[in-house]
A = this chain, B = another copy of it.
Amino acid sequence: MTREIEKQLSAHQEQYKNRGILLVRCPDQPGIIAAVSRFLFQYSANIIDSSQYSTNPEGGDFFIRIEFACEDLQQKKEEIKTSFKAIAENFSMDWKMNFPSEVKRTAIFASKELHCLRELLFEWQSGDLITDIAVVVSNHETARELVEGFGIPFVHIQASKENRSEAEAAQLKILQDYEIDVIVLARYMQILTPAFVEAHPKQIINIHHSFLPAFVGARPYDRAYQRGVKLIGATAHYVTNDLDEGPIIEQDIERVNHRDNIENMKKIGRSIERRVLARAVKWHLEDRIIVDGNKTIVF
């Protein structure tokens, strides 16, 4: 990490030292908000922002994200977390309480196409992506100079169909060593094994270069060109063991026309991929996403 980025992160931690974020999912019933808001009020916490969603008020699921501010939170946060358990149990909540001052640690997996990696580094350097990019892993050397220029460790792990298990063993060790919270596949192009994916549920974000579910799988721009579509797109999603079938976080598109050959579509596509992935990662880092089966709720 460069000194400039270090200073940005410290400033962020200072600014948000009294902030907490509560993410909840539970069966819907009257009284949830009353209970949670009374709880926070007891700790003199002020609700800064809250968003909720009910799949179906009669007997569906209830989701809420609450951002709160509370003086001297650093001293009180463990106590708050502990005493929230009673409410959580009462309402059968699936929940977590995070603190923006505890910056998440990110690993980026890259390959030879660097536009998504560059965009993330770019946004990071601009202070628009609050995280500690702890390591970049790649199966090629292409990104080394770029990555090391940002003061980030770059680890080359040769990976292919043939050596998948050894490669993943090496990758898993890296993730452990660097205490990684989030893995971003920035056009990594290698398929991960079920074991790897299951070890990181809702922690791996991938960018697919089409608007899913159109053009699942390989060579989406070639197929978009063949089909004569008038829009091309990109999709950021959590990785599951069904290829390109994980919960979608964000999608976007651009117009194309008959003049755009495959090469052009790829150029246009790169700019879509960049912004879609950057938004998805940002929302994940800001604890804005709750996964609901194969869907995401983005607050």
Report how far A173 CA is from B33 CA in the complex, Å.
46
User: How distant is the Cα of A2 from the Cα of B52 in the complex, in angstroms?
Assistant: 38
Q: Which residues of chain B are near A297, meaning CB under 8 Å?
A: 258
Given A34-B37, A46-B57, the answer on whether A296 and B228 have CB atoms closer than 8 Å is: yes
- The answer to whether A41 touches B30 (Cβ under 8 A) is yes
Main secondary structure of the interface of A (DSSP, over half): mixed
Report if A230 contacts B (CB, 8 A). yes
Give every chain B residue within 8 A of A295 (Cβ-Cβ).
Answer: 228, 258
Does A215 have its Cβ within 8 Å of any Cβ on chain B? yes
Q: Copy number in this complex?
A: 4
Q: Which residue among A30, A40, A292 has the maximum number of chain B CB atoms within 10 Å of its CB?
A: A30
* In the assembled complex, A294 has its CB within 8 A of some CB on chain B: yes
Q: How many residues of A contact B (CB 8 A)?
A: 62
Name which of A31, A292, A294 has the most chain B CB atoms within 10 A of its CB: A31
Task: Please provide the chain A residues from 30 to 72 with a CB less than 8 Å away from any CB of chain B in the complex.
Answer: 30-34, 37-38, 40-41, 44-54, 57, 69
- What residues make up the interface of A, taking CB atoms closer than 8 Å to B? 28-34, 37-38, 40-41, 44-54, 57, 69, 114-115, 118, 122, 126, 128, 149, 211-215, 227-231, 233, 247-253, 257-259, 267, 270-271, 275, 292, 294-298
